[in-house]
Amino acid sequence: MSFKRARHIEPEVLDHQVPERAVPSLRDLVRINQLTGGHGVLRKALQACVAKSDAFTMLDVGAASGDAAKVVGASYPHARVVNLDYRPDHLNAARGMRIVADAFHLPFPDRSFDIVYCGLFLHHFDTESCLRLLHSFGRIARRFVIVNDLERHILPWYFLGATKWIFRWDPLTLHDGPISVQAGFTGKELEHLARGAGLVNPVVIVHRPAFRVCLLAGAAIS
């Protein structure tokens, strides 16, 4: 497998593993967020739209082990985060409210949450599906939509393989990591998707050396 300049999506094996086999790779995802600055990207996005004292609500779509909720809770004591994932076993380590649901059929009325967030989730889907997801996020959000995802770049594509002897990544992580990066976005691509989905005033920041793209946009116009 070689790195491709264009966005390319392939199936990732984590989503099809039995619960006990998925746990090490889910832990790796948390470590990757810690090591490469993914958590810091979320913190910076939140600093741009809420105050420390705000009692806001946030829906984390594709929450997996719920590490985003832990990041929010550490800095925003009055915030309430709802963790949503389609696999109940992925949510075993998540704190707070957990909901098992399909991201394409979110069980919430319009304007249910102040913020709708997804991290390392959107890259799993093709353009049409991304547009559907972002539009539904904008419908459910009262204030903001935040997307924290991978920048498609050759350096993070090599990262896991180059560091496997140092960090002892799980084999599932080593398999899925380059596939995830190849399915990532450029800043312009993510902004184009946000505009196509009807989100308001989308701004995308490319974070280096985290190699993350972060979208901050207003909720969709009703």
Alpha helices, DSSP H, located in the chain: 19-36, 38-47, 67-75, 127-140, 154-162, 164-167, 171-182, 187-196
The two structure tokens encoding residue 141? 């959000």
Question: What string of pLDDT tens digits covers the 222 residues of the chain?
Answer: 688 889 999 988 777 776 778 888 878 888 988 888 899 999 999 999 999 999 999 999 999 989 999 999 999 999 999 999 999 988 988 888 999 999 999 999 999 999 999 999 999 999 999 999 999 999 999 999 999 999 999 999 999 899 999 999 998 999 899 999 999 999 999 999 999 999 999 999 999 999 999 999 998 765
Ordered by where they begin, the domains of the chain are 14-218 (3.40.50.150)
Q: Tell me phi and psi for residue 148, to 5 degrees.
A: -120, 105
Nearest to 71 by CA among 43, 32, 111, 105: 43
Q: What pLDDT does residue 222 have?
A: 59
